[in-house]
């Protein structure tokens, strides 16, 4: 009898763990993705602040940036701002494209004019870091109009509807919420 009770308890605990595993796995994968995106932005910041000259003796230190496009919500781009306009200028400025895996996607990009303002939904977001400042230029675009923002959030969502926010402040701080 004791053996039967022990086995039934073991089966119930195992069943509960197996039922909750996909949700747990999805949350962990989304957390990892949020950290990867934050790390890529931080890497861009480090390379922008500590970059070497474009060519030896040129005294030109290229601005580095990260570009997010709401319409291409399963990838983002790291770039060198060759024309110094704080915007991604296409393949000639491309360093690396990051593809978002496991059917996760960027669901929303928001810009905030002031810390107390409401979200302005953005079509495009460019974060650029120019030597020697660790603070990014947070440039957001809606249609054809663009503006500088105090900070921005990038919301990533899993297929199960779980979301995480990556927050980038104009003082250089990056956080995951």
* Percent of the chain whose pLDDT exceeds 70: 95
The model's confidence at residue 133, banded by pLDDT at 50, 70 and 90, is confident
The per-residue pLDDT for range 73-119, each reduced to its tens digit, is: 999 999 988 888 999 999 988 999 999 998 999 999 999 999 899 99
Name the pLDDT band for 14 (thresholds 50, 70, 90): confident
What 41-48 contacts at long range (C-beta under 8 Å, 24+ apart), as own/partner pairs, is 41/66, 41/127, 41/166, 41/168, 41/174, 42/174, 43/78, 44/78, 44/127, 44/129, 45/129, 45/134, 45/136, 45/172, 45/174, 47/129, 48/128, 48/129, 48/130, 48/131
Which residues fall within 8 angstroms of residue 62, CB to CB, at 6 or more apart? 51, 54, 80, 81, 82
Span 152-156, average pLDDT? 97
Token pair for 108: 């929303």
Average pLDDT over residues 132-150: 93
Q: What is the pLDDT of residue 23?
A: 79
Distance of alpha carbon 103 from alpha carbon 160, whole angstroms = 10
Q: What contacts 120, CB < 8 A, 6 or more positions away?
A: 110, 111, 112, 113, 140, 142, 147, 149
Residue 58 or 107, more confident? 107
The pLDDT score that the predictor gives to residue 140 is 96
Enumerate the β-bridge partners of residue 45: none
Is pLDDT at 70 greater than 90 in this prediction? yes
- pLDDT per position as a tens digit, 23-37: 788 899 999 999 999
**pLDDT at residue 171 above 80?**
yes
Query: Of 15, 19, 24, which Cα lies nearest the Cα of 160?
Result: 24
Predicted confidence band of residue 7 (pLDDT cuts 50, 70, 90): very high
Q: Determine the Cα–Cα distance for residues 75 and 168; give it in Å rounded to an integer.
A: 18
pLDDT greater than 90 at residue 21 = no
Residue 126: pLDDT over 70: yes
Give the pLDDT band of residue 47 (cuts 50, 70, 90): confident
Pairing between strand 75-81 and 94-99?
Answer: antiparallel
């Amino acid at each position: 009898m004791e053996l039967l009770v022990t086995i039934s308890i073991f089966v119930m605990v195992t069943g509960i763990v197996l039922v909750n595993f996909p949700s747990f796995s999805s949350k962990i994968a989304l957390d990892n993705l949020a950290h990867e995106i934050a790390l890529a932005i931080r890497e861009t910041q480090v390379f922008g602040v500590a970059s070497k000259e474009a060519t030896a003796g040129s005294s030109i230190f290229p601005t580095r940036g990260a570009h997010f496009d709401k319409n291409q919500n399963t990838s983002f781009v790291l770039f060198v701002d060759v024309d110094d306009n704080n915007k991604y200028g296409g393949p000639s400025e491309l360093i690396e494209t990051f593809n978002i895996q496991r059917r996760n996607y960027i669901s929303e990009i928001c810009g905030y004019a002031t810390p107390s303002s409401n979200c302005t939904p953005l079509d495009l977001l460019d974060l650029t870091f120019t030597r020697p400042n660790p603070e990014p230029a947070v440039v957001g675009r809606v249609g054809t109009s663009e503006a500088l923002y105090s900070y921005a959030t990038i919301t990533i969502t899993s297929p199960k509807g779980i979301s995480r926010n990556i927050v980038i402040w104009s003082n250089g701080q990056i956080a995951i919420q």
